[in-house]
């Protein structure tokens, strides 16, 4: 006979927590929720009528209502609030209980928390959840990491609540420790890159070609029926059509051009640097959000710094076809960079990630879902140890066959003075990766010249240093 009490508890009844609780209840599970704001508890009660959902007014009542061993999920802002909730929970929990952090916590913080809780016998899962408000309510992509024992306990709940693609839930245990939060972090980094590329496409077509919002909406609708099919492409078309209720104008034209951030893109870029894995499209996406924040300076600079006229010459329809192919190529290269980072992190942090499963659970519910992910899943299914997607025949062909339109868009944008750094660095990444020889030999020679950092030779094994300032031309020292 099952232990009486609610099957899972939810702490944090904001947009994500409340909607996920209702989603879980709709799948037949019992849920109790609590929040420091009593209004949010009451809102849950109001929406929960007819479901196995209850709101608790205080933490003790919340804990006492849970079935043992307890499963407590929190959806609170990353950082100190997570530690605060854990501190408040500990006196009420016992060995064998499970805490789940469903927020966007930094992966190293997840490892720290898991280690501290394990000393008390409490299990801790770091779970990435993607899909926003609608995803939480209707079915998100769920990325759990931590002890397999903990995941198995809530697996039926997660599988029921997750998005479904071809009847299969978009959730899988990804690995020990912070594996789930790491995968979600890189998911968000890829998201940054894709959004930057789409924004640059918009800029080229709006300012460079003079397309109207209606034309842009129609174009993105068309593109969403091609190989570019993706959630972000779909919502972009909708955004261009949205009318502002206050003014009757297109809302997109009234939104201030400053893109905010919560830090996950920056974390992705920072850890990629720690791992020495290049993710330039993600890097530049973070940098351009930072640049967008300098609105006043940009307005002043626009009056002082001249540039070329933004006039497009040529066949506009032909260029729009190139734009579509260039966007696909750059988006593909962004996924490639993210998957390369996951491969490296899997080895460095002992996650033992199954990249086939990562691609599979990203196909539905999440913000970066796209038709391309099925190809990524198939590539890793067929080649589980593949070190890099561009070394797989299909992806090599996809990228190589679209390099000409990618170059054309970069060239046209540069000639028009329209910044497309995402496209530029995606192309540079492609060209760099396919270069058998890079000018890094000169950089290493310079490092040896001023800092005696040594170098390796192409014609013999060993490590060498040259006394570069000697008049004789220097001597090699092995």
Q: Catalytic positions, please?
A: 184, 191
Cβ burial 260-286 (10 Å sphere, 16+ → b, else e):
eeeebbbbbbebbeebebbbbbbbbbb
Please state, in angstroms and rounded to a whole number, the distance separating the CA atoms of residues 48 and 25. Answer: 8
Kindly report the number of other CB atoms within 10 A of residue 249's CB atom.
11
| Phi (first) and psi of residue 166, to 5 degrees | 55, 35
Between the alpha carbon of residue 208 and those of residues 36, 54, 194, 306, 312, the distances in Å are: 50, 55, 20, 16, 6
Using CA atoms, how far apart are residues 46 and 53, in angstroms rounded to an integer? 10
Please work out, in degrees rounded to the nearest 5, the angle formed at the alpha carbon of residue 145 by the alpha carbons of 158 and 27: 5
Give dist(CA 85, CA 89) in Å, integer. Answer: 6
Paired with 338 in beta bridges are none
The gap from C-alpha 462 to its chain's centroid, in whole angstroms, comes to: 41
Alpha-carbon gap, residue 203 to 23, rounded angstroms: 38
Q: Give yes or no for a cis peptide into 69 (omega within 30° of 0).
A: yes
Find, among 132, 164, 215, the residue nearest to 364 by Cα: 164
> Residue 126: beta bridge partners?
101, 145
The torsion defined by the Cα of 79, 80, 84 and 85, in degrees rounded to 10, comes to -20
How many other C-beta atoms can be found within 10 angstroms of the C-beta atom of residue 109?
A: 17
- DSSP string of 365-386? SSTT-BTHHHHHHHHHHH-TT-
List the 123-130 sheet strands across, edge first.
53-56, 31-34, 8-11, 71-74, 98-101, 123-130, 141-145
Element (H, E) at 125: strand 123-130
What single-letter DSSP state applies at residue 224? T
With contact defined as beta carbons under 8 Å apart, do 158 and 192 qualify? Answer: no
């Amino acid at each position: 006979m099952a232990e009486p009490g609610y099957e899972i508890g939810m702490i944090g009844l904001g947009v994500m927590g409340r909607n996920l609780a209702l989603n879980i209840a709709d799948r037949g599970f019992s849920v109790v929720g609590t929040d420091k704001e009593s209004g949010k508890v009451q809102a849950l009660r109001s929406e929960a009528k007819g479901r196995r959902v209850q709101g608790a007014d205080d933490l003790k009542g919340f804990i006492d209502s849970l079935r043992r061993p307890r499963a407590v999920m929190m959806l609170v802002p990353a950082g100190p609030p997570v530690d605060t909730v854990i501190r408040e929970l500990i006196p009420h929990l016992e060995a064998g209980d499970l805490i789940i952090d469903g927020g966007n916590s930094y992966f190293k913080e997840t490892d720290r928390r898991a280690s501290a809780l394990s000393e008390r016998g409490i299990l801790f899962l770091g779970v990435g959840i993607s899909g926003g408000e609608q995803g939480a309510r209707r079915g998100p992509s769920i990325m759990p990491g931590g002890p397999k024992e903990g995941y198995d306990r809530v697996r039926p709940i997660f599988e029921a609540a997750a998005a479904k693609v071809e009847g299969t839930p978009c959730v899988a245990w990804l690995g020990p420790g912070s594996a789930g939060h790491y995968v979600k972090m890189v998911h968000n980094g890829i998201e940054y890159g894709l959004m930057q590329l789409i924004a640059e496409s918009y800029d080229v077509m709006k300012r460079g070609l003079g397309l109207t919002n209606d034309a842009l909406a129609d174009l993105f609708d068309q593109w969403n029926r091609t190989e570019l099919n993706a959630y972000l492409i779909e919502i972009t078309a909708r955004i261009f059509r949205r009318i502002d209720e206050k003014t009757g104008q297109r809302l997109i034209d009234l939104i201030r051009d400053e893109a905010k951030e919560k830090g996950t893109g920056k974390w992705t870029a920072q850890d990629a640097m720690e791992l020495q894995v290049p993710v330039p499209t993600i890097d530049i996406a973070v940098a351009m959000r930072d640049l967008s924040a300098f609105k006043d300076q940009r307005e002043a600079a626009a009056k002082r710094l001249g540039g070329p006229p933004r006039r497009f010459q040529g066949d506009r329809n032909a260029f729009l076809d190139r734009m579509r192919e260039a966007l696909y190529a750059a988006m593909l290269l962004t996924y490639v960079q993210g998957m390369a980072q996951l491969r490296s992190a899997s080895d460095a942090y002992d996650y033992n990630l199954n990249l086939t499963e990562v691609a599979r659970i990203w196909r539905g519910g999440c913000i970066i879902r796209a038709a391309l992910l099925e190809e990524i899943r198939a590539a890793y299914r067929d080649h589980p140890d593949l070190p890099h997607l561009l070394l797989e025949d299909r992806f090599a062909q996809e990228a190589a066959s679209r390099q000409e339109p990618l170059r054309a868009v970069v060239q046209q944008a540069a000639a028009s003075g329209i910044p497309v750094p995402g496209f530029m660095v995606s192309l540079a990444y492609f060209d760099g990766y396919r270069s058998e020889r890079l000018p890094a030999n000169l950089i290493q020679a310079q490092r040896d010249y001023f800092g005696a950092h040594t170098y390796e030779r192409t014609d013999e094994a060993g490590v060498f240093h040259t006394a570069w300032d000697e008049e004789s031309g220097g001597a090699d020292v092995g």
